[in-house]
Amino acid sequence: MRDNFLQLQIDQSFIGRFAFKTSTTFALNIFRGPSKKTDRQVVEEFRLEFTGVKRLRLELDANPWLEIKSHRILTKSDFLCDYAGASSSAVDQSEVHHFEIVCQEGKVDVLACNFVYSLIDEVVFVGPATALEGSPLVDKLNLPATAEQLCSFCGRGISAVAKMVTSAKANICDQCVQTCLETIQGSPSAVENDGVDP
């Protein structure tokens, strides 16, 4: 449990939303950009969900985007000891864990039995990041104000191909057009995509 939580790559990410799904389930939606400007230009949205929540403490500024500075799981803490002392039944500390997420503007403490971390969505920037233009998130998520256009089929950038046909919803490079023409002319009934997701 401890190693799994420490291995989460959430530092320098941003908390976008908190939600109570039930009285014992608490979830955070976390947005993470590329770690370097040279990385793939995507923003990933993850859900970090704590189950079996016993207590929750939020000490946060009103900033709508909370940058995560560090995270850890604590085996001994005042927060955990206070819960153990206040609980009417004996608390097995191997079942309840203190998860701490330190933000630039405060922190989140969760006493819970478990957590699940899952990818919700990936947003690939294939043109100007107009929705984020002028936003401090462009710099904080390491995204350029205008990202290179990418082929929707193979992912090659416009600088890596001779021509790119673009539209509001998709792009296709000259190499993928050639592959399509060869496929249609050869008319195989099933075509493999070489492991590249469209």
Q: Percentage of residues in the chain with pLDDT exceeding 70?
A: 68
The tens digit of pLDDT for each residue in 18-62 reads 888 888 999 988 888 776 555 556 778 889 999 999 999 888 776
Domain range summary for the chain, segments of one domain joined by +:
2-122, 127-186
pLDDT band at 128 (very low <50, low <70, confident <90, very high): very low
Quote the CA–CA distance of 103 and 53 in Å, as a whole number. 20
Query: 92 near 125, Cβ under 8 Å?
Result: no
Quote the CA–CA distance of 166 and 149 in Å, as a whole number. 8
The pLDDT, as a whole number, for residue 127 is 44
The pLDDT, as a whole number, for residue 139 is 54
Is the whole model's pTM more than 0.85, yes or no?
no
* Residue ranges of E strands in the chain: 14-22, 25-32, 42-51, 55-60, 66-74, 97-103, 106-112, 114-124, 164-166, 171-173
